[in-house]
């Protein structure tokens, strides 16, 4: 299994306070995670999270491109630059040699599936247009290390279908939620319970779900619940393990 890698959540780190921003990959040379959503026209993907703008999923999804282009990323009262489009973030990350993992977020199941399909189709279209070539040479490792993950089970399932249809190879992962109670109380993620047996360890269920669905990694949200045994079991299942570590 590969060694440890730091992936910056929403591209926000010490010295770079603006989440889901152009600054994320301009100033950092490792791996970043970014949230993607679909605008009102059902074809424009953007890099944004409601918390970045003190708004809602529905509000961003209801914007047209002109409205979205007026947004500025924020850190409290401090204002940064323009919010990126997905294709801008994708190509900017490639240009800077930054590994990137995109999280699908949405207000409905159907919309999350649309985001999944659009993301895969965009990567395919750019690949066919030669966008990932330098001096005529393609660098397939950039695409192969790119990841799509979500806390919405149907979104990742849809992404896998789209990858199989297009022949593109990306990394896929399941963002496993904090608890079965959270899943029970959230209609978007309720089907995560299909992979859970009452009374079993919740994090172990997340590993099994990722393996059964044919994914490459599991993203476990609660670092305090990660044990040596869970790490060992993930590796035994040939899964990479992503763990959300909060800054001190």
Please state, in angstroms and as integers, the Cα–Cα distance from residue 173 to each residue in 92, 94, 170, 242, following that order.
23, 20, 10, 9
Is 90 exceeded by the pLDDT of residue 132?
A: no
Specify the DSSP class assigned to residue 248. -
Is 70 exceeded by the pLDDT of residue 216?
A: yes
pLDDT at 137: 80
Q: What are the tens digits of pLDDT across the range 48-72? A: 888 777 788 999 999 999 999 888 8
Structural contact between residues 119 and 49, judged by C-beta atoms closer than 8 angstroms? no
Rounded Cα distance between 189 and 177, Å, is 9
Structural contact between residues 146 and 101, judged by C-beta atoms closer than 8 angstroms? yes
Q: What is the mean pLDDT of residues 163-187?
A: 92
pLDDT at 1: 45
Is 60 exceeded by the pLDDT of residue 210?
A: yes
């Amino acid at each position: 299994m590969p060694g440890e890698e730091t992936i910056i959540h929403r591209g926000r780190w010490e010295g770079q306070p603006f989440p889901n921003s152009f600054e994320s990959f301009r100033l950092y040379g490792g791996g970043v995670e970014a949230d993607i959503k679909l605008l009102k026209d059902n074809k424009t993907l953007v890099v944004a999270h409601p918390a970045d703008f003190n708004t809602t999923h529905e509000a961003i999804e209801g914007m047209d491109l002109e409205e979205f282009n007026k947004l500025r990323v924020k850190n409290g009262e401090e204002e940064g630059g323009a919010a990126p489009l997905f294709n801008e973030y994708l190509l900017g990350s490639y240009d800077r040699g930054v590994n990137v993992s995109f999280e699908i977020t949405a207000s409905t199941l159907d919309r999350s599936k649309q985001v999944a399909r659009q993301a895969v189709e965009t990567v395919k279209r750019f690949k066919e247009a030669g966008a990932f070539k330098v001096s005529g040479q393609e660098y397939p490792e950039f695409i192969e290390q790119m990841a799509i993950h979500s806390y919405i089970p149907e979104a990742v399932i849809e992404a896998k279908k789209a990858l199989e249809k297009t022949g593109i190879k990306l990394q896929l992962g399941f963002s496993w939620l904090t608890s079965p109670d959270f899943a029970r109380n959230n209609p978007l993620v309720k089907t995560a319970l299909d992979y859970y047996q009452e009374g079993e360890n919740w994090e172990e269920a997340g590993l099994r779900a990722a393996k059964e669905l044919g994914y490459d990694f599991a993203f476990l949200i609660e670092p305090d619940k990660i044990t040596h045994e869970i790490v060992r079991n993930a590796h035994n299942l040939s899964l990479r393990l992503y763990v959300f570590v909060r800054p001190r």
